[in-house]
Amino acid sequence: MSSVNDLSGKKRAILVAAEKCFAMQSYEGVSIRDIAHEAQVPVALVGYYFGAKNELYHAIYEHRSSYIAERLSDLHKATQHADPDMALNAIIAAFITPVLRLNEQPDGVNFSRMVMRGVIDQHEASARITREFYDPMAREFISALSSALPAAPIEIIFWCYQFALGALLHHVVDTRIERLSEGLCPARNAAVATPHLQRFITAGIRAAALAPPHPSVKEHPA
């Protein structure tokens, strides 16, 4: 599958316009006419290239899936580390770095916001995307984290993945840090943000994995 950057002309214009529309409004609130207007193409051309709205929505993720492949490729390299600490650091780098690089691109910002809207709105089109593109990747990262932290109960690993994902998603859609820091912290500069986010997530996961069980958590019987 070609990426968005491989496309040209009106087909690319439609995908980029659709990302922008889905980033600004809910899935239900966006119409094919809205997308055609944003792309400055006839309404019929959207359907000709991509079909119905749900298929266009799916096509966006297909054309953006190279960043998922990059994350999985980096994950595979990370799991080759014999040292657990190095492996954990590399796993988190694989998880966040391709996302932050994509988010530096103007079109990537819209895609990030579109992903976040899909998580919040939980409509059928986004559920299909999650099942097809993100759940398989999540399982691979969870398995890698479990291997790097063999003493951690598996339920803790699941929580760690959930919270790591939350930190990543919030960062890529929220630029308020630039205002709060009066420009000291450029939110979309991947070279600046990546090491901080990587250390934050890695340390949090390591702390959670090594913590004694909470009194409210009952241990599973042997």
Contact 32, 96 (CB under 8 A): no
Neighbours of 95 (CB within 10 A): 26
Mark which of 13, 43, 61 sits at the end of a domain: 61
- Are 115 and 206 in a shared domain? yes
Say how far apart CA 205 and CA 183 lie, in whole Å.
Answer: 29
For 134-148, the DSSP string reads IHHHHHHHHHHHHHH
- Are 57 and 97 in a shared domain? no
Name the one residue in this structure whose structure tokens are 């439609």: 14
Q: Binning pLDDT at 50, 70 and 90, where does residue 206 land?
A: very high
pLDDT value, residue 8: 62
- Are 114 and 178 in a shared domain? yes
* Domain housing 13: 4-61
**Cα distances (Å, whole numbers) of residue 46 to 19, 37, 54:** 13, 10, 12
Give domain status of residue 215, yes or no. Answer: no
In this structure, what CATH number is given to the domain that contains residue 172?
1.10.357.10
pLDDT tens digits, residue range 22-36?
A: 999 999 999 999 999
- Are 102 and 205 in a shared domain? yes
Per-residue b or e along 140-164, where b marks 16 or more CB atoms closer than 10 Å to that residue's CB: bbbebbbebbeebeeebbeebbeeb
**Nearest-5° angle of CA 147, CA 199, CA 212?**
55
- Are 92 and 147 in a shared domain? yes
- Are 107 and 198 in a shared domain? yes
- Are 92 and 127 in a shared domain? yes
Rg of the chain on CA atoms, in Å: 19
In this structure, what CATH number is given to the domain that contains residue 27?
1.10.10.60
Q: Binning pLDDT at 50, 70 and 90, where does residue 193 land?
A: very high
Say how far apart CA 32 and CA 56 lie, in whole Å.
Answer: 9
- Are 41 and 150 in a shared domain? no
Of 109 and 6, the one with more pLDDT: 109
- Are 71 and 138 in a shared domain? yes
pLDDT tens digits, residue range 76-131?
A: 999 999 898 899 999 999 999 999 999 998 888 999 999 999 988 888 999 999 99
For 169-193, the DSSP string reads HHHHH--HHHHHTTTSS-TT-HHHH
Name every residue whose Cβ is closer than 8 Å to that of residue 38 and which is 6 or more positions away in sequence.
17, 18, 20, 21
pLDDT value, residue 214: 64
Mark which of 35, 61, 87 sits at the end of a domain: 61
Give domain status of residue 108, yes or no. Answer: yes
Give domain status of residue 193, yes or no. Answer: yes
Residue 2 has pLDDT above 80, yes or no: no
Number of domains the chain is built from = 2
Q: What is the mean pLDDT of residues 13-30?
A: 94
Residue 145 has pLDDT above 70, yes or no: yes
Name the one residue in this structure whose structure tokens are 């799991």: 79
Say how far apart CA 173 and CA 179 lie, in whole Å.
Answer: 14
Say how far apart CA 134 and CA 177 lie, in whole Å.
Answer: 27
Mark which of 61, 77, 96 sits at the end of a domain: 61
Give domain status of residue 216, yes or no. Answer: no
Phi/psi-derived region of residue 211, left when phi > 0, alpha when psi is between -120 and 50, beta in every other case:
beta
Q: Binning pLDDT at 50, 70 and 90, where does residue 187 land?
A: confident
Neighbours of 49 (CB within 10 A): 16
Name the one residue in this structure whose structure tokens are 């087909």: 11
